[in-house]
């Protein structure tokens, strides 16, 4: 049945263009995949450092809080916590990493002044203020970790998706098109030989 198929030169030309485009796309996707992997490892390094900084900052904050608990009662500390008027603020935006939208979090408004906290100088003390400062640093460190790890997850998802597309082109689509190109080329050559033979027979009979 395969011999009954009669492809045309235009079909072969169209297929060659498709193969060229597929190979170009494959090359671009490989570059994207490799670039995303490099970005991922940069983020991984940032996330590891951020986790270490968070652990260090949290440890320091706990020590400061313990000092405040020794010098003041837990009831006083809790009442001051409830008296704080404003919650920490963060600005959530997005940034683009090789076509992937990842979060960009600005924690600059996490730290508050004494007036912004609303507890007043009379109700607080230097020890309490230091403890609050340290825990605001903890919140900032948490934001940095959250930003890096969320970006890592998004990049990892895009890397897996890009790898699947690369593999589909490399091991399925392009080889299938190459096989089709070879078949059409051979079939066209065969049809050309048949035409030449037919013309010779017509001339011979004439």
Position 2 confidence tier, pLDDT thresholds 50, 70, 90: very low
In a domain, 199, yes or no: no
In a domain, 112, yes or no: yes
Q: Cβ contacts of residue 140 below 8 Å, gap of 6+?
A: 107, 110, 111
Position 153 confidence tier, pLDDT thresholds 50, 70, 90: very high
Distance CA 132, CA 110 (A): 11
More confident position, 161 or 85: 161
For 32-48, how does the pLDDT look when each residue is reduced to its tens digit (9 = 90+)?
999 999 999 999 999 99
In a domain, 75, yes or no: yes
SS3 72: coil
Distance CA 14, CA 163 (A): 27
Domain that holds residue 94: 29-180
Distance CA 14, CA 18 (A): 6
In a domain, 10, yes or no: no
In a domain, 193, yes or no: no
In a domain, 144, yes or no: yes
Position 22 confidence tier, pLDDT thresholds 50, 70, 90: very high
pTM of the model: 0.78
Does residue 119 have a pLDDT over 70?
no
Whether 68 and 128 have beta carbons less than 8 Å apart is answered as yes
User: For the chain, what is the domain count?
Assistant: 1
In a domain, 6, yes or no: no
Report the CATH number at residue 139: 1.10.287.3240
In a domain, 73, yes or no: yes
């Amino acid at each position: 049945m395969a011999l009954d198929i009669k492809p045309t030169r235009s079909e072969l030309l169209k297929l060659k263009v498709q193969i060229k485009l597929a190979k170009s796309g494959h090359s671009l996707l490989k570059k994207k995949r490799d670039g995303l992997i490099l970005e991922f490892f940069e983020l991984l390094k940032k996330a590891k450092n951020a986790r270490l900084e968070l652990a260090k900052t949290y440890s320091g904050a706990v020590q400061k809080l313990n000092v405040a608990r020794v010098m003041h009662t837990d009831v006083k500390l809790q009442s001051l916590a409830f008296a704080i008027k404003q919650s920490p603020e963060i600005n959530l935006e997005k940034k683009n990493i090789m076509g992937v939208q990842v979060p960009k979090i600005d924690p600059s408004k996490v730290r508050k002044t004494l007036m912004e906290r609303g507890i007043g100088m009379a109700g607080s003390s230097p020890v309490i203020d230091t403890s609050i400062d340290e825990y605001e640093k903890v919140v900032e460190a948490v934001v940095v970790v959250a930003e890096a790890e969320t970006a890592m997850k998004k990049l990892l998802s895009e890397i897996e998706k890009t790898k699947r597309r690369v593999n589909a082109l490399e091991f399925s689509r392009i080889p299938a098109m190459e096989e089709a190109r070879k078949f059409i080329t051979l079939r066209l050559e065969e049809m050309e030989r048949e035409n030449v033979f037919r013309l010779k027979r017509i001339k011979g009979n004439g």
